[in-house]
Structures are given as C-alpha cells and as structure tokens.
Amino acid sequence: MLMSRCGLRILSKLRPRTKSLVEVYPFSLKLCVPVTNASQNYCNKPEGSLNTFNYEPNTSKLFDNIDYDSITGGNEEILSKLKRLILEIDLLYESGEQVPSHLKTDQWQSLLQLSSRSSRMKQLKYYFLIEKKKENRIVRKLEKRAERLERYENEPKNDHIEYGLLRNSMFHRIYEKQMNSLYNYRLCEAMLYGQDILIDCSYDGHMSLKEQTNCAKQLLLMWSYNRTHKDPFNIIFCNVNKESTVFRGLSKTIPTIDEPTFPFNYTKLSYLDLYPREKLVYLTPHCNEELKEYNYDDVYIIGAMVDKMKVEPLSLAKGKRDKIRMAKLPLDLYLDWKQGTKNLTINQMIMIMADLKMNNNWVEALKHIPRRKLLEVDAYQRGHIGSNQKISAKRIREDFRRNSVYNLLIKK
C-alpha cells in the first residue's frame, strides 16, 4: 500500500530512531522498520519513449492478485464482464479518476453487480476514500508515537521514581480485552435471564446494495450498543440467510461470529417457529396502534431494513400476513417532528427499547432520537415548558406571542 507524502516524511524522521523504537517497543508496528525502497512514482514520468502504444500504465498492482475463480465462480459470462470492468478501471486510472490501489474479492463482486458506469465510479471513489482513511490513520499513529518519544527523550532525568505513561503507576491498566470479556459476560447473562428481542433479517430482496451495506453497519452499531448497556437484551437474529450481503457484511466486522463460545445468536428459522404467536409484537411505523408501555411478557420484533430509496409498508404487510400484533412508538405524543420521515434506524430502536425497559419513561427513552429531526425551542420557551409535556409548535407560538417584546413590535 502506497503511503502519502506526509507518511513518508514522518517515516524519514523516525528513521534515525528506529533502533531505539525496536529496543523499547519490541511489539511495535512493522512500519517503524526503516523504509529504504519507498518511491513516489505517482509524480514520475514514464522512462523512455512517450509512445502511447508502448507505454504500460502503473495499475499493475491493482490487477496483479485478482482471484478470477472466486469472483466469477467459473461463469464465462461473469468472466467476460469482469474483463470489461478491468479495462474500464484502467481507463479511469489513466484519466486521473480516484481509483484505489487494491480491490478485494467482495469489492470486485460488488462492482460487477452495478449496472451503470456512474454508479461504478461512485463505488470506486468510495473504496478510494476508505483506503486513504486507513493510510491517514497509520500516519497519525506514527505522528503521535514520534511526538511521545520526543517528549519522553527531552524530559529531564532524575533518580526519583517517576509516575505516568511508560513509567511506574499505582493503578492497573484495564485493557480492551478485559472490557470485551466483561461485555460478553453481560450478554451471556442476558441469554440466561434477560429479555429477548428479535431482529427480522428477511428484507434483503427489498433493499439495494447500498442499503444492504448500510443495514449491516446499523446492525453492528445496534449489537455494540446493546453489549455495553447496563441491562442488555438477548438479541436473536431470525430469518438469516448466511449468503446475503447483510450477513456477510456483519460477519466481516465480527470475525468470531460463528465461534461456539461467542455470545451471538442467529438462526434461519422464523420468529413464528421460536415463540408463540400471542407473545409476538412487531414494531412498525406504519400501523395505527401505539405502544403505551413496555410489557415484559411480550417479545418485540424489529425489522432489519433500510428504506432510503422508497418507503413501503413492508413490515406492516408482514405483520398482517403472519397475524401478529403490531405497534409503533408514540412519537407524536411526546415529540414535535420537524423534518424527515418518522422511520428510525435499527440502532436507535434498540437504544430506545433498552432505556424504556429500565423504567418505562418515554421522555428519557426518546432522547436517543437526533435533535435535528425535532423542533427547536429557545431558552425562554424551555423555561415555561415542562420536561414531561409535549413540545408542540402551537404552544411555542402562543408563548412567543405572550412575550412583551412581541407586543412592543406589534405596537410600533
């Protein structure tokens, strides 16, 4: 992976100290080893003649390690389509477009699924930005390490005991591995004694590729928030297809998802096969029945769906087809919506339901909704509106008209 100019400059500064780095930190990054063959060939002109017929572009690194069998699966039609895609990416590189230096097998497959050239260019730009973010992250890490070592070397030395980072300390350091063990222990407790909640993963065919990728990210955020909560849910993913884009994206970010000791529950069975129909409640924004309070005897279902392109009442239709109860959050009762649809993300639903389960307080639970979607009120109006009342636009206008400043403006 090619490093940027800033990264190469930092590596050159770190080169005289590489020996001390290896001695002090035997488990340091491999990038701290002196880089001797680093070349910036993105600004160099091709050697020899400038004949376009003899000139070979510098995209060989992108096309060197392509696993044609894994991408195409032995299909000749997909293979010919892949060759046309390689030619298209080569032309984009020659024209100066933002093209990543390396593409993985799943990224090639995602590009093959796109039908238009503009969508492929957007996807390539997205992969390019991700690659540059990773490079910048490594550069920032090297910068911080260089600053820390320089500060440590310039500090005055004394014979007394020194406390702090890289020195003596009276406290034990809590590592990330220990925190993960604690969170996983909480999930294991939730499996035994906690409240169950179901995630319906049967909407893959109703989402585009971009929506499926976004859905996998929301599921990851949902699972991460739940494991850090004081009283987490026992989340069960039902109707799971292991070959779907959503589950493959989720399993890529959680590599230990299939280990028997890892607290992650998923099944290909339907929720009707897991629980009796009378206990199930499908949470959908399209129904008329509002959820008054959290019932600990019910099992709630959240649909794993992202519908940014077109909003269809798919969860409502599924609840009616399965003849189970449905409910929606009482957003109109406690909030005054300013903009956007009233469809919340999957991780926001888990945040709301987890806090609602604690004390059945809707005002506290609905604080997880982004403030940008709600009507803003100033400090004067906040002082006259109780925290347990609905913040309505009509009430705000009436309080403003009763203000003396407004009356003075009318008289003038």
Per-residue pLDDT of the chain (412 residues; tens, 9 = 90+): 434 444 444 444 444 443 343 333 333 333 333 433 433 333 444 444 444 334 344 445 667 778 888 888 888 888 888 888 888 888 888 888 888 888 888 888 888 888 888 888 888 898 899 999 999 999 999 999 999 888 878 777 777 777 776 677 777 878 888 999 999 999 999 999 999 999 999 998 888 888 888 999 999 999 999 999 999 999 999 999 988 889 988 998 898 898 888 999 999 999 999 999 999 999 998 888 999 999 999 999 999 998 877 778 888 999 999 999 999 998 888 877 776 677 788 999 999 999 999 888 888 888 888 877 777 654 334 444 444 455 444 554 565 555 544 454 444 4
Neighbour count for residue 283 (Cβ, 10 Å): 23
For 151, the enclosing helix (H) or strand (E) is helix 117-154
Q: Where are the alpha helices (H) located in 294-345, listed in sequence order?
A: 314-322, 331-334
For 252, the enclosing helix (H) or strand (E) is helix 245-253
Q: Where are the alpha helices (H) located in 254-366, listed in sequence order?
A: 271-274, 314-322, 331-334, 346-359, 362-365
Q: Smallest Cα–Cα separation from 201: which of 180, 184, 218?
A: 218
Tokens 């400038």 correspond to what residue? 50
Q: Would strands 234-238 and 325-327 be described as parallel, antiparallel, or unpaired?
A: unpaired
CB 244 within 8 A of CB 237: no
d(CA 63, CA 88): 12
Q: Smallest Cα–Cα separation from 59: which of 117, 2, 136, 127?
A: 2
CATH second-level architecture of 194-373?
3-Layer(aba) Sandwich (3.40)
CB 334 within 8 A of CB 316: no
**Global pTM value:** 0.66
Q: Where are the alpha helices (H) located in 162-244, listed in sequence order?
A: 176-193, 209-228
Q: Smallest Cα–Cα separation from 235: which of 281, 188, 268?
A: 188
d(CA 341, CA 322): 26
CB 101 within 8 A of CB 62: yes
d(CA 212, CA 306): 7
d(CA 218, CA 135): 25
Q: Would strands 196-200 and 234-238 be described as parallel, antiparallel, or unpaired?
A: parallel
d(CA 392, CA 400): 13
